[in-house]
């Protein structure tokens, strides 16, 4: 009889403990793949999305603690309202007002990217933040120092506890939390998407522009992500004040000279200036470049002949590109500065 | 009656198992960082055969995929085997692995560096955590080994030399397999930096920061640093 009582108490204790752990466990987030989109490239099994992990990543993204003198956060160069890029700056600036050599990239639909940065030097979303953190013209900090600073903060200790089950703050966890936030930045609700889902219709001008887009741009800016994820020479000449050779720096192959990532066109209305060095301020300049591209043997086959669009056609093409604006994404409160 | 004997039998088995665990299970592999025959002292001045003065500040390297080949050709393979060995951290220079066998070790095999699988797996933990300063930022991948110091032969800022050697993609794959034979169960792995610096001239090469043919060449030369030193049990 006595042993039976003991047994019941034991079972009770186990139940209470397991219940406690159920409540403490972070809340999983189900990553929704928009209808008709390919499978994401990111391996979510290695970094399961949770509400707490996402919120921690969001806090880190907006916190200048990542930089050496606590002046620069990720959001300094990646502003939500402009598709997470640095609007109006051809080259982005970082710590002490220092200026980098490239235009900051947009951030959206990153779960589908295989490689990162304009030159593709980064092979995984998790390790991308090492670039801005350690760059002497961006945040000029080390990940080890960032971890040390975070470990001194009670606020962060409790956030890491909520996201990962204990107060341990490590480099791996900082990077995984940032990834969780970045993975959630999915833009799939533009007018274009609604037309594809048959929830809206293009105007005649937009429809005409869409045809022109499919004939002239879609082989590299492939739907639905509007990038093929590859690196190409798009015919803009080398800026000799920067001498940025692009992908060749990574691969050391001469055929990769002046190749840069094919960027997504989503939200392009707000992501100006354009190109890796931000040399074009306006979308009309970009279209003009492709419309009368100078022949050169290094161009990919897709660019061997120029578009030769009429003035009206160019206006139509831009009308279509504006349907890629996803206002819901650009003003989604879940992605904004955490309050 | 029978059940009682069974109890005794089980207990005997258990004790035997527990005892033998203690006896055989842990094998410690010691790494000794040296310059020629003496333990390397940081910032002490050495001179290489190439007549370079050498003062070492940083020396860190990855040992991965560690395995032991036993006398009967069976193998003990360590799972999830990634170790960062750091001259600044004496505890990192001793790797303890379980060896559930009495047989003698005849060969130690490991990689100098981190394989491509781990290099493309994002943010990892423990010795692979990017806070260790052994992961490249602008070009992803692990630094397999890092040697930094000063030499009067280097016409660089602060006479510094720095070798950050890595690369997981062909043709600049810089991971090297080290195979060391031993006749004695009591041994340690010696890493003699003189064996690398005797092969190079710091006036010709003193900085490697990216994967490439130069890094691969230094990785080849670095293999010579590793050797086995055997000793009799009472020496230790």
Condensed to tens digits (0 to 9), the pLDDT of residues A242-272 reads 999 999 999 989 999 999 999 999 999 999 9
pLDDT confidence bin for A297, thresholds 50/70/90: confident
Q: CA torsion A11→A12→A17→A18, rounded to 10°?
A: 60
pLDDT confidence bin for A2, thresholds 50/70/90: low
Pairing mode of beta strands B207-208, B160-166:
parallel
- How far, in Å, are A66, A76, A335 from residue A97 at the CA level? 16, 12, 26
Q: Which residue has the higher pLDDT, A337 or B184?
A: A337
Q: State what percent of residues in chain B have pLDDT above 90.
A: 80
Residue contact B121–A46, C-beta within 8 A: yes
Where do the domains of chain A lie, and which CATH numbers do they carry? 44-187 (1.10.760.10), 191-328 (1.10.760.10)
Rounded to an integer, what distance in angstroms lies between the CA atom of residue A212 and that of residue A314? 9
pLDDT at B107: 96
Longest dimension (CA), chain A: 94
pLDDT at B101: 80
Lowest mean pLDDT segment, chosen from A23-32, A176-185, B46-55, B127-136: A23-32
Contacts of B164 in chain A (CB under 8 A): none
Residue B197, H or E segment: helix B194-197
Residue contact A175–B130, C-beta within 8 A: yes
Q: How distant is the Cα of B83 from the closest Cα of chain A, in angstroms? A: 16
From the CB of residue B36, how many other CB atoms can be counted at a distance below 10 Å?
12
Lowest mean pLDDT segment, chosen from A156-160, A180-184, B9-13, B34-38: B9-13
Q: How distant is the Cα of A110 from the closest Cα of chain B, in angstroms? A: 14
Residue A217 has pLDDT above 60, yes or no: yes
Nearest to B130 among A135, A143, A252 (CB): A143
pLDDT at B24: 54
Lowest mean pLDDT segment, chosen from A133-137, B12-16, B230-234: B12-16
Lowest mean pLDDT segment, chosen from A216-230, A280-294, B23-37: B23-37
Residue B40, SS3 per DSSP: coil
List B residues 1-60 in contact with A (Cβ-Cβ < 8 A). Answer: none
pLDDT confidence bin for A306, thresholds 50/70/90: confident
pTM: 0.88
Residue A201 has pLDDT above 80, yes or no: yes
pLDDT at B85: 98
pLDDT at A293: 86
pLDDT confidence bin for A1, thresholds 50/70/90: low
B133 CB within 8 Å of a chain A CB: yes
Residue A69 has pLDDT above 90, yes or no: yes
Residue contact A124–B139, C-beta within 8 A: no
Q: Which residue has the higher pLDDT, A17 or A195?
A: A195
Three-class SS of chain A? CHHHHHHHHHHHHHHHHHHHHHHHCCCECCCCCCCCCCCCCCCHHHCCCEHHHHHHHHHHHCCHHHCCCCCCCHHHHCEHHHCCECCCCCCCECHHHCECCCCCCCCCCHHHCCCECCCCCECCHHHCCHHHHHCCCCCCCCHHHHHHHHHCCHHHHHHHHHHHCCCCCCHHHHHHHHHHHHHCCCCCCCHHHHHHCCCCCCCHHHHHHHHHHHHHCCCCCCCCCCCCCCEECCCCCCCCCCCCCECHHHHCCHHHCCEEECCCCCCHHHCCCECCCCCECCHHHHHHHHHCCCCCCCCCHHHCCCCCCCHHHHHHHHHHHHCCCCHHHHCCHHHCCCC
Residue contact A46–B119, C-beta within 8 A: no
SS3 percent helix, strand, coil of chain B, rounded to 5, is: 25, 40, 35
Beta bridge partners of A261: A231
Contacts of B122 in chain A (CB under 8 A): 43, 46-47, 124-127, 175-176, 179
Contacts of B138 in chain A (CB under 8 A): 117, 121-122, 131, 135
pLDDT at A25: 86
Predicted ipTM > 0.90: no
A126 CB within 8 Å of a chain B CB: yes
pLDDT at B210: 92
B125 CB within 8 Å of a chain A CB: yes
pLDDT confidence bin for B5, thresholds 50/70/90: low
* Residues A75-82, mean pLDDT to the nearest whole number: 96
Q: How distant is the Cα of B57 from the closest Cα of chain A, in angstroms? A: 19
By residue count, chain B amounts to 236
Q: Which residue has the higher pLDDT, A307 or A12?
A: A307
* Residues A162-173, mean pLDDT to the nearest whole number: 97
Contacts of B129 in chain A (CB under 8 A): 170-172
Residue in B49, B34, B69, B91 with CA at minimum distance from that of residue B178: B69
Q: How distant is the Cα of A178 from the closest Cα of chain B, in angstroms? A: 11
Residue B221 has pLDDT above 90, yes or no: yes
């Amino acid at each position: 009889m006595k042993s039976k009582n003991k047994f019941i108490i034991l079972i009770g204790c186990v139940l209470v403990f397991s219940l406690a752990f159920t409540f403490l466990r972070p809340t999983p987030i189900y990553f929704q793949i928009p209808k008709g989109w390919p499978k994401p490239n990111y391996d979510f099994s290695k970094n399961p999305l949770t509400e707490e992990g996402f919120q921690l990543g969001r806090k880190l993204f907006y916190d200048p603690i990542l930089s050496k003198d606590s002046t620069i956060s990720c959001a300094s160069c990646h502003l939500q309202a402009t598709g997470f890029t640095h609007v109006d700056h051809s080259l982005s600036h970082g710590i002490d007002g220092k200026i980098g050599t490239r235009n900051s990239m947009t951030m959206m639909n990153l779960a589908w990217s295989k490689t990162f940065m304009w030159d593709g030097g980064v092979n995984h979303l998790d390790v991308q933040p090492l670039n801005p953190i350690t760059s002497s013209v961006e945040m000029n900090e080390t990940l080890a120092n960032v971890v040390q600073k975070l470990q001194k903060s009670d606020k962060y200790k409790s956030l890491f506890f909520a996201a990962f089950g204990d107060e341990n703050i490590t480099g791996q966890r900082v990077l995984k939390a940032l990834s969780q936030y970045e993975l959630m930045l999915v833009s799939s609700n533009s007018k274009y998407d609604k037309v594809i889902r048959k929830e809206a219709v293009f105007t005649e001008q937009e429809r005409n522009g869409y045809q022109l887009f499919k004939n002239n741009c879609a082989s590299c800016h492939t739907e639905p992500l509007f990038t093929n994820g590859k690196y190409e020479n798009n015919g803009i000449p080398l800026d000799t004040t920067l001498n940025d050779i692009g992908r060749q720096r990574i691969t050391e192959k001469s055929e990769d000279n002046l190749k840069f990532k094919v960027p997504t066109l989503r939200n392009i209305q707000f992501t100006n200036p354009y190109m890796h060095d931000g040399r074009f301020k306006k979308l009309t300049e970009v279209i003009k470049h492709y419309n009368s591209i100078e022949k050169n043997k290094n161009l990919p086959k897709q660019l061997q002949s120029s578009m030769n669009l009429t003035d009206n056609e160019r206006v139509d093409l831009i009308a279509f590109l504006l349907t890629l604006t996803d206002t819901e994404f650009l003003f989604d409160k879940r992605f904004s500065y955490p309050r | 009656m029978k059940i009682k004997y069974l109890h005794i039998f089980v207990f005997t088995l258990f004790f035997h198992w527990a005892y033998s665990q203690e006896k055989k299970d842990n094998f410690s592999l010691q790494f000794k960082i040296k310059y020629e025959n003496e333990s390397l002292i940081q910032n002490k001045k050495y001179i290489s055969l190439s007549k370079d003065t050498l003062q070492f500040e940083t020396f860190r390297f990855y040992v991965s995929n560690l395995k032991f080949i036993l006398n009967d050709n069976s193998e003990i393979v360590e799972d999830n085997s990634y170790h960062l060995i750091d001259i600044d951290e004496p505890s990192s220079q001793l790797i303890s692995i379980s060896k559930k066998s009495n047989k003698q070790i005849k060969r130690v095999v490991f990689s100098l560096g981190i394989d491509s699988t781990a290099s493309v797996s994002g943010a990892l933990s423990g010795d692979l955590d990017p806070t260790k300063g052994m992961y490249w930022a602008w070009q992803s991948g692990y630094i397999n080994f890092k040697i930094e110091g000063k030499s009067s032969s280097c016409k660089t800022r602060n006479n510094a030399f720095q070798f950050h050697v890595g690369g997981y993609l062909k043709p600049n794959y810089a991971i090297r397999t080290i195979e060391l034979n031993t006749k004695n169960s009591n041994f340690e792995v010696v890493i003699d930096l003189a064996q690398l610096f005797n092969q190079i001239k710091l006036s010709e090469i003193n900085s490697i920061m990216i994967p490439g043919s130069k890094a691969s060449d230094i990785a080849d030369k670095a293999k010579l640093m590793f050797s086995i030193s055997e000793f009799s049990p009472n020496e230790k």
